[in-house]
Amino acid sequence: MRELLKKKRIWLLTLFPLGILILLVVKHNEYIAEYWFARGIYRIFAQTWSFVTGMIPISIIEIIICCSPFLMIYLVFRVVRKLVVDKENRKKTIGCYIINVLCVISTGYFLFMVFCGANYYRYPFSKECDLTVETYSIEELYGLCEELALKANDLRAQITSVDEDGIFKLSASDYEIAKQAKKVMTELGETYDSLSGYYNTPKPIFASRLMSYTDTTGIFVTVTMEANVNVDVADYGIPVTMCHELAHEKGYMREDEANYIAYLACVNSDNLEFQYSGTMDALSYATSQLYDNDVELYKQIRAMYSEEVLADRLASSAYWKKYHNDIVSSVSSKINDAYLKANNQTNGEQSYGEVVDLMLAEYRKRNS
């Protein structure tokens, strides 16, 4: 066993407790999480690595996922072959592979904490934009929904790009929209220092429809620093999703904050389609909260929608019903919920909807 535990393996195994130590530190010190990790180690890594992976126009992680079954088969074959050929050293071989697996887990967890996990404990984005999140009244929520509904109507009336059924359609290709998303996030970074710097271009996923079966619109992968986006969904959801995933690239891992940053980037851009995308996404979250609080008030807001806005929302709803699978969606949801709860988002998947708290804080500040 001593031979198995070579110095480098011992060193790799110690990375796991170091990762735990980092977690304990950042849990109790937002300053360290913000300036040592989010704006320090992580920022340097993200700026450098995203530039490198950005040179490849397609999703690297999608390629890795496609190749992973073949890699697993190869590794299993190697293990089985060695156990069969070298019968005398089977115990040693098994012990060696177990230690290797533990080293991979230890290294992976440490890298996760340094380049991602610590960011979940940074200062909230509300501090950067000087917003006070408080308990809101139903009147304030209704006012926000009304404002968003009227704005959506106004923006939709100015849009001419539609499909054969009159449903909103982006006027540019997915890759051109991705470049525009990079641009609007870069512009937002001129207002907020924590969002400044280089951005990788979001990458449309070839297997987007498969993502839809898991109710997934996008995913940010720290390993490759890529914002991977489902581009098979209703077009109005694509720009805001791209911006959401790019918000993660700047270390804002909490979902409500990424949603709010994406909303800000879209509505403050000079691109009408991005403005509509951000407004429709915000409207969806806000009206969902209103529905949970008062169905009658929700119906009043819904009655305000223009025919075009209503048609776009119904088309999106029809799309998700078409690809919804109870079993797949349930498994995917539980995994995501568990991951979020394990990373300082106690409400799990419901944390996505907490963007409404930030929008209401802005609404209250704007109307005070």
pLDDT tens-digit profile of 35-44? Answer: 999 999 999 9
pLDDT digit string, tens, across residues 330-345: 666 677 667 667 666 6
pLDDT tens-digit readout, 59-96: 999 999 999 999 889 888 888 888 788 777 777 778 88
The whole-angstrom separation of Cα 267 and Cα 170 is 16
pLDDT tens-place string over residues 200-234: 999 999 999 999 998 999 999 999 999 999 999 99
For residue 203, the SS3 value is strand
The pTM of this model reads 0.92
Residue of 232, 244, 228 lying closest to 352 (CA atoms): 244
**CA–CA dist 188, 194 (Å, integer):** 10
**343 φ/ψ angles, rounded to the nearest 5 degrees:** -120, 60
> Where along the chain do its domains lie?
7-121, 125-367
Tell whether the torsion through CA atoms of 237, 239, 244 and 249 is positive or negative: positive
- What is the average pLDDT across 97-124? 91
Residue 347: the pLDDT is 62
* pLDDT tier for residue 8 given thresholds of 50, 70 and 90: low
344: left (phi over 0), alpha (psi -120 to 50) or beta: left
d(CA 46, CA 40): 10
Decide if 249 contacts 264 (C-beta within 8 A).
Answer: no
The pLDDT tens digits for 276-291 are: 999 999 999 999 999 9
Residue 75 pLDDT: 84
Tokens 């909103």 map to which residue? 168
